[in-house]
Amino acid sequence: MNKVYDLIIIGAGPAGLSAGLYASRAKMDVLILEKENKGGQIVTTSDVANYPGSIRNATGPTLIARMVEQCEEFGTQFEKGTVQKVDFSDDIKKLILSDGKELQAKSVIIATGAYPRKLDVLGEKRLTGKGVSYCATCDADFFTDMEIYCVGGGDSAVEEALFLTKFASKVTIIHRRDELRAAKSIQDKAFKNPKIDFIWNSVIDEIRGDGIVEEMVLKNTQTGEKTIIMADEEFGTFGVFVFVGYIPNTDVFKDQIEVNDKGYIETCDNLKTSKPGVFAAGDIREKSLRQVITAAADGAIAAIQAEKYISSKEY
Amino acid sequence: MLELNKDTFEEEVLKAEGFVLVDYWSDGCEPCKALMPSIEELSEKYDGKVKFCKLNTTKARRLAISQRVLGLPAILLYKDGEKVGECSKDDATQQNIEAMIEKNL
């Protein structure tokens, strides 16, 4: 007989870790599954200034390390594995991993988060890590004194553009519309920054280069007119940083629980999904604010709801 | 793991015989630091077969760019000084890196 956990949490970002902590403290038998490294998107952040209480040395990784330690202290178990298939139709939920292993649980919390959306243009994939980047803190210093183009008009695009001005000689924001979507306070900073320039009503059509980014083709969204941007002679390359939103990691669950047209899971206030005993927490949910603190709050609520669900079922 | 810098890179990697793996990382790259324990683990597993090195690109930017590395994390495998494999960004997972080593050994 396979072991049946009280709760399996899929994803070890802030939502999953918070859920693990609350569930373990409620004396549940809990497993957190993570496909890569613990922490989720926040580990690429060098400075976490807006999570209450995280003042000294608060980087994404230090915050996550403390969350993991706290979970382990209360008995949360961790396992590395990628979920390939799920069956939520019975009282005992089944998860099949990519190595064929089957896990069983009385309740499940989906905390799989989201990943950065790609532009989906010619050359983008081939030149990722060769000038094309989705992580400013990872790659900014390669472009010290060089030019950087930043794609997108939301909060993260403009904030990252501001961060990149500390390195680049010039940062140009390319946006498909003629105005930014970012919060007014962030916009003001960008408009005031002498290193930031804008190309409006434009999208990248193609990125070219032999081994590294050397030129790209922009297309005007109004006129269809194409312009080529070439690297300067001195460096022979430039940076293309892409911040055009996120895609939720719900593919594996789509045939089992309801997701909206953007792929996010819509839940009630108690974070229930369309299947009893299955809850959703963190960036995977349709919500207005995606931050560590909202993810952590979700985790706590989902864990307590899972505990209530199990008690009511009297397994 | 052997710590490289811009002065030792040529001797230890480009002029070296056999397999050399270089973990390109930087102070600001948090995913690189998260990946590091996996690389340490692999360095023990392939001890004697592959020379494991790391290079902090913050102090060797031009060198990294000369190796066509413009994004981190980047794990490159060299054989007799020639690049034979690369796992970077999303592809830089322990599983992929091990597969790259196995394919080339």
Three-state SS at A7? strand
What pLDDT, on the 0 to 100 scale, is given for residue A315?
61
Cβ separation of B71 and A139 shorter than 8 Å? yes
Report how far residue A245's alpha carbon sits from residue A288's, in angstroms, rounded to the nearest whole number: 13
CB A96 within 8 A of CB A85: yes
The residues pairing with B20 across neighbouring beta strands, listed in sequence order, are B51, B78
Question: Is A39 an interface residue toward B (CB < 8 Å)?
Answer: yes
What pLDDT, on the 0 to 100 scale, is given for residue A24?
98
What pLDDT, on the 0 to 100 scale, is given for residue A261?
94
Neighboring chain A residues of B58 at a CB cutoff of 8 Å: 141
What pLDDT, on the 0 to 100 scale, is given for residue B40?
96
CB A132 within 8 A of CB A151: no
What pLDDT, on the 0 to 100 scale, is given for residue A98?
92
Question: Is A237 an interface residue toward B (CB < 8 Å)?
Answer: yes
Per-run averaged pLDDT (10 residues), chain B, 105 residues: 96 96 92 90 96 95 92 96 94 93 96
Annotated catalytic, B53? Answer: no
What ipTM goes with this model? 0.81
State pLDDT tens for residues A78-105: 999 999 999 999 999 999 999 999 999 9
State pLDDT tens for residues A136-155: 988 998 999 999 999 999 98
State pLDDT tens for residues A37-76: 888 888 877 778 789 988 777 888 889 999 999 999 999 9
Annotated catalytic, B87? Answer: no
Interface test with B, best of A38, A57, A142 (most B CBs within 10 A): A142
Cis omega before residue B73 (within 30°)? yes
Q: Which of B33, B68, B70 sits opposite A61 (nearest CB)?
A: B33
What's the half-sphere exposure (Cβ side, CA atoms, 13 Å) at A228? 8
Report how far residue A59's alpha carbon sits from residue B10's, in angstroms, rounded to the nearest whole number: 34
Report how far residue B33's alpha carbon sits from residue A140's, in angstroms, rounded to the nearest whole number: 16
State pLDDT tens for residues A202-237: 999 999 999 999 999 999 999 999 999 999 988 899
